[in-house]
Amino acid sequence: MSYDKQECMSALEESDEVFYAKMQKGLDDMRNGRVTPLDDVYAELTKAISEIKNGAKAADAEKFIKGLMNS
Q: Say yes or no to pLDDT of 1 above 50.
A: no
Residues 7-22: tens digit of each pLDDT: 655 656 778 898 899 9
Dihedral angle computed from the Cα positions of residues 51, 54, 55 and 60, in that order, rounded to the nearest 10 degrees: -10
Domain that holds residue 38: 5-69
Q: What are the phi and psi torsion angles at 57 (to 5°)?
A: -65, 150
Amino acid at position 45, single letter: L
Rounded (5°) CA angle 23-71-9:
55
Tally of structural domains, the chain: 1
Q: What pLDDT is stored for residue 10 in this prediction?
A: 60
Residue 58 CB-density burial (10 A; 0-12 exposed, 13-18 middle, 19+ buried): middle
More confident residue, 6 or 57: 57
Q: What pLDDT is stored for residue 45 in this prediction?
A: 86
pTM above 0.75, yes or no: no
